[in-house]
Structure 1
Amino acid sequence: MEQKKIEQEIKEIHEKLDFITQQLQETCKHNQEMQELKNDLALVGKDMFDAAVEGLEDVAPYFDTSDLLHLGKKLLRNTRNLNRMLTQLESAEDLFHDLKPLGKQMFDELLETLNELDRKGYFEFFGEAFKIIDTIVTTFDVEDVRLLRENIASILLTIKDMTQPEMLNSMNNALDFFKKMDVVIKDEVSFFTIMKKLRDPEVKKGIAFSLEFIKNMAQQGNGHSKQA
């Protein structure tokens, strides 16, 4: 009985030793891996340090530790300003998000307006108008434009006078008269008939207008001749 108990205890001791041995092996393996990682990190750190030193050598003439200290102080002094600036940036971002749908709506309305103008023929009209301007530019020279500039006031005054109701009425009457110029008088007209026609108020007005028109034309012609 005692022998079995001793054997059982020895077996338990062996099992514990095996467990301890396994734990020691795993610990050694873990320590070895950590050592390898430490060595790798040391190499990487050394490379990074060497690269940093090499990079700082390029900026060494322009940088000093006092500059870094001065920058730190300035950042601390302007912390509130930086906070306000960040707040304004956040407000601007919120405003942008609020205006984004409005901008899309305005863009859609602009496209709709341009489409409507194109449908009505505005772009085609302006294209032809540009061709008119191109024709004017290629047809007239600088001297013609200068003469137009010098006489534009007289031209506009003439157009203004021509658009007066009395002048338009007279022009319409003249056009109606010229339309009827092809009237053929078949019967012989006697002197008595002419004298009878002269008693017509409309005929008198026409003769008076013709005489006044010829008189004014003659006066204008004499005036231009004297100026020349």
Structure 2
Amino acid sequence: MEEKALQTQVAELNRKVDLLLEYVNQQRLKTNQLEDLVSDMSIVGKDIYDTAVEELDNRMVNFDLDQVKGLVLRILRNVGNMNNFLEMFESVTDLMKDAGPIFNEVVIDFTKKLNELDQKGYFEFFAETGKIFDNIISHYSPSDVKELADNVVTIMETVRSATQPEMMTALNNGLKIYGSMEMENVPEYSILKVMRELNKPEMKRGLGFFVTFIKNMAAETNKN
């Protein structure tokens, strides 16, 4: 009985030893594979480095390790800034996504408005207005424009004076009277009849207005 138990223990011990040897063998194989991989990577890395150095040398590129180190350090120092920039970029991207539909609506409304203006003839009107400026430019010389610029203040003062209410009323009355006259049936006046007409109150007021107007115009001319 004891001999059988001893054999069982020996068999169990042999099994464990076999497992241990198998594990050691697997680890040795893995170590060999890792060493082979490291060796291959070293060869590949050396080839890449040699190729890069040769290519840079052929292209006459000076590779300063101190500058590369400084660049790496600057990148590391500005990691926070780069993160802030990326966050800002993400925010702008989100804003563009949110504003996209609004922008599309604005474009659609703007297009509709342009179409409405086109239907009303605005663009055709402005195109014809351009011809007006073309005619003005082709008709007047630069010296004419210069003279206009020199006298624009006088012209504006004249226009302002002519558009005063009393002046507009007088001009309107004159146009009404002229329009009511029958130019083809104007009566003829002899000198004697003219003399009699001059004695009428309305003619005297008319002559007074005319004489006063001439005198004031002469006085204004003398001032200038």
**TM norm. shorter chain > 0.5:** yes
Partner of 2:68: 68
| Structure 2: runs of 5+ lacking an equivalent | 1-36
> What's the % identity of the aligned pairs?
35
Partner of 1:198: 200
- Kindly report structure 1 stretches of 4+ aligned residues shifted beyond 6 Å: 186-189
Counterparts of 1:100 and 1:87 in 2: how far apart (Å)?
Answer: 20
Partner of 1:172: 172
Check conservation: 2:197, 2:203, Cα contact below 8 A: no
- Tell me the CA shift for residue 220 of structure 1: 5.3
Closer, same or farther: CA 76–209 of 1 in aligned 2, 3 Å = same
Partner of 1:147: 147
Closer, same or farther: CA 88–136 of 1 in aligned 2, 3 Å = same
Check conservation: 2:161, 2:167, Cα contact below 8 A: yes
> Residue type of the partner of 1:65?
L
- Tell me the CA shift for residue 51 of structure 1: 4.2
TM-score scaled to structure 2, two decimals?
0.65
Partner of 1:33: none
1:20-66: CA deviations, max 9, x gaps? xxxxxxxxxxxxxxxxxx9xx99xx59x7364343233467521333
> Residue type of the partner of 1:194?
E
| Structure 1: runs of 5+ lacking an equivalent | 1-37
Partner of 1:96: 96
SS of residue in 1 equivalent to 2:72: helix
Partner of 1:123: 123
- Tell me the CA shift for residue 186 of structure 1: 8.3
1:51-107: CA deviations, max 9, x gaps? 434323346752133333333322222221211111111111111112222221221
- Tell me the CA shift for residue 203 of structure 1: 4.5
Counterparts of 1:178 and 1:82 in 2: how far apart (Å)?
Answer: 84
Counterparts of 1:186 and 1:73 in 2: how far apart (Å)?
Answer: 110
Counterparts of 1:140 and 1:170 in 2: how far apart (Å)?
Answer: 33
Partner of 2:57: 57
Counterparts of 1:100 and 1:89 in 2: how far apart (Å)?
Answer: 16
Partner of 2:11: none
- Tell me the CA shift for residue 114 of structure 1: 1.6
> Residue type of the partner of 1:143?
S
1:88-141: CA deviations, max 9, x gaps? 111111111122222212211221222222222222222122111111111111
> Residue type of the partner of 1:198?
K
Check conservation: 2:162, 2:168, Cα contact below 8 A: yes
Counterparts of 1:152 and 1:94 in 2: how far apart (Å)?
Answer: 56
Partner of 1:111: 111
Closer, same or farther: CA 142–185 of 1 in aligned 2, 3 Å = closer
TM-score scaled to structure 1, two decimals?
0.64
